[in-house]
Amino acid sequence: MAGIRTVEAPVKRPLWTQLYLQVLVAIALGAVIGHVWPATGEALKPLGDAFIKLVKMIIAPVIFLTVVTGIAGMRDIGKVGGVAAKAFAYFFTVSSFALVVGLIVANVVQPGAGMNIDPASLDAEAVKGYAAKSHDMTIVGFLMDIIPTTVVTAFTEGNILQVLFFSIPFGLALAMIGDRGEPVLNVLNATAEAFFKLVAIFMRAAPIGAFGAFAFTVGKYGIESIASLAALVATFYGTSLLFVLVVLGAIAALNGFSILKLIRYLKEELLLVLGTSSSEAALPSLLEKMERAGAAKSVVGLVVPTGYSFNLDGTNIYMTLAALFIAQAVGIDLPLSEQLLLLGVAMLSSKGAAGVTGAGFITLAATLQVVPSVPVAGMALILGVDRFMSECRALTNFIGNAVATLVVSRWEGQLDRAKLAEALSGPPLPVAAPPVESDAD
């Protein structure tokens, strides 16, 4: 039956209702509170912690639903292995290059040179806890930890790799039983829609979380605390920016999209990551936005969660840069052979830290323990500013995973160019649209 449907012109929301602006204002207010009233800033920490817990609460089911519905919807089992192989090839290549970039910049800029720190004066107790955690990061232990004790514990513990370990074969099993699995798939698709609506609801609290987290960071560590280590912090931020714009920018250009437009498209999520120092806070939103940008659901479901564990570009830059900074600060001149050893160890340890809280700092401790020339106690030099650098690590990791998702989707021939162009070009200008006739749905 034919009917009349009114096409309404898109309504342009007032600027103050835009989430990215709210988060930006919240970060600025948090910085002011933390700087002027440090004790108050520290006391606001629960706001940031509560928001991150709120998001982490739904990460496991969102990943499960995205992965299962994506794989089951493919029906071609062989494609799943192809996506995984291409994703890991990308992760290994680009993340290894990030380690090399950090190594090169540290040798050229030498941010720790001239500090002349006496290794005996370093406070080993300050980093004892991180060093202890790094002892547990063996390759065998890491691989065994991927297997959950039960299906339920994978979700209750919120371990992304364990959720993936269960989700992928379950999605394959659902695809293999064909039409008999259709009712289950329909239920999961509907549940996924509900969870993404829940994500949108929770994201409205993002400004509160960003406000509390940033007020705590500035209140506890103080803006002035980075002054003595400004060279390291500035070098790390500069190197990460260079990596994003040049390396990831070149990868994006070769695959037909602009890194700057992608950053603009993800501005709300990036500001949230900046405010909370956690890329996990924006993980559910990234899954949704990558699909909206034209990446296939099956690719998004595999690449984004695994990228959060294996494609840590920012963390890798930090590891080699920080390790050489410590060596330079205590007056140790590492020969090329030991620098290459450092690079090789970092390639492995960066994967072993997947899913570990504070992974960047803990991974650095694990790496330095294998290269005895550089004292692990030297990490105390950067402990005070690590929180500031963790924000840059999280931002770089986040952008790197967004690029990886679009690239792997293109390699698979499952990137909708029209949707990508529309998403990266920004919302269309509102135009008047007269009523049009159409067939009823």
pLDDT computed for residue 25 by the predictor: 84
Give yes or no for residue 252 having a pLDDT over 90: yes
Residue 435 lies inside a defined structural domain of this protein:
no
Phi, psi of 436 (to 5 degrees): -130, 155
pLDDT computed for residue 235 by the predictor: 87
Span of 111-125, 147-161, 309-323 with lowest mean pLDDT = 111-125
> How buried is residue 358: exposed, middle or buried, by Cβ count under 10 Å (0-12/13-18/19+)?
middle
Q: CA-to-CA distance for 205 and 212, rounded, in angstroms?
A: 11
pLDDT band for position 412 (cuts 50, 70, 90): confident
Span of 46-60, 281-295, 316-330 with lowest mean pLDDT = 46-60
pLDDT computed for residue 141 by the predictor: 64
Give yes or no for residue 96 having a pLDDT over 50: yes
Residue 262 lies inside a defined structural domain of this protein:
yes
pLDDT computed for residue 223 by the predictor: 66
Residue 158 lies inside a defined structural domain of this protein:
yes
Instruction: Answer for the pair 307, 404: CB distance below 8 angstroms, yes or no.
Output: yes
Give yes or no for residue 122 having a pLDDT over 50: yes
Give yes or no for residue 383 having a pLDDT over 80: no
User: How is residue 245 annotated by DSSP?
Assistant: I
Of 171-185, 381-395, 403-417, the range with the highest mean pLDDT is 403-417
Mean pLDDT of the chain: 76
Residue 413 lies inside a defined structural domain of this protein:
yes
**Amino acid residing at 341:** L
Give yes or no for residue 356 having a pLDDT over 60: no
pLDDT computed for residue 130 by the predictor: 47
pLDDT computed for residue 257 by the predictor: 92
Residue 25 lies inside a defined structural domain of this protein:
no
Rounded alpha-carbon distances, angstroms, from residue 38 to 41, 42, 43, 225, 431? 5, 6, 9, 13, 48
pLDDT computed for residue 121 by the predictor: 56
Rounded alpha-carbon distances, angstroms, from residue 308 to 140, 249, 360? 20, 20, 13
pLDDT band for position 248 (cuts 50, 70, 90): very high
pLDDT computed for residue 239 by the predictor: 92
pLDDT band for position 227 (cuts 50, 70, 90): low
Among 390, 15, 65, CA closest to 197: 65
pLDDT computed for residue 388 by the predictor: 72
Give yes or no for residue 151 having a pLDDT over 60: yes
Q: CA-to-CA distance for 112 and 380, rounded, in angstroms?
A: 14
Among 218, 207, 227, CA closest to 39: 218
Give yes or no for residue 47 having a pLDDT over 50: yes
Q: What average pLDDT does the segment 263-289 reach?
A: 83
pLDDT band for position 245 (cuts 50, 70, 90): very high
Instruction: Answer for the pair 35, 214: CB distance below 8 angstroms, yes or no.
Output: no
Q: What average pLDDT does the segment 192-219 reach?
A: 81
Give yes or no for residue 77 having a pLDDT over 90: no
Give yes or no for residue 119 having a pLDDT over 70: no
Helix, strand, coil shares of the chain, percent, nearest 5, are: 75, 0, 20
Rounded alpha-carbon distances, angstroms, from residue 241 to 13, 314, 432? 31, 10, 41
Q: What percent of the chain has pLDDT over 70?
A: 74
Spell out the SS3 assignment of 136-153: CCCHHHHHHHHCCCCHHH
pLDDT band for position 406 (cuts 50, 70, 90): very high
* CATH classification at residue 350: 1.10.3860.10
Span of 73-87, 112-126, 225-239, 381-395 with lowest mean pLDDT = 112-126
Please tell me the pTM assigned to this model. 0.71
Residue 2 lies inside a defined structural domain of this protein:
no
Span of 16-20, 203-207, 342-346, 412-416 with lowest mean pLDDT = 16-20
14 compared with 394, residue with greater pLDDT: 394
Instruction: Answer for the pair 58, 199: CB distance below 8 angstroms, yes or no.
Output: yes
The sign of the dihedral angle between the CA atoms of 38, 39, 44, 48 is positive
Residue 47 lies in domain: 32-426
Helix boundaries (H) for 148-254 = 151-156, 160-176, 182-203, 206-221, 230-242, 249-254
Residue 12 lies inside a defined structural domain of this protein:
no
pLDDT computed for residue 253 by the predictor: 94
Q: Hey, what are 218's tokens?
A: 């500035």
Residue 7 lies inside a defined structural domain of this protein:
no
Please tell me the total count of domains within the chain: 1
Span of 74-83, 121-130, 188-197 with lowest mean pLDDT = 121-130
Q: Which residues of 88-115 are buried (b: 16+ CB within 10 A; e: fewer)?
A: bebbeebbbbbbebbbebbeebebbeeb
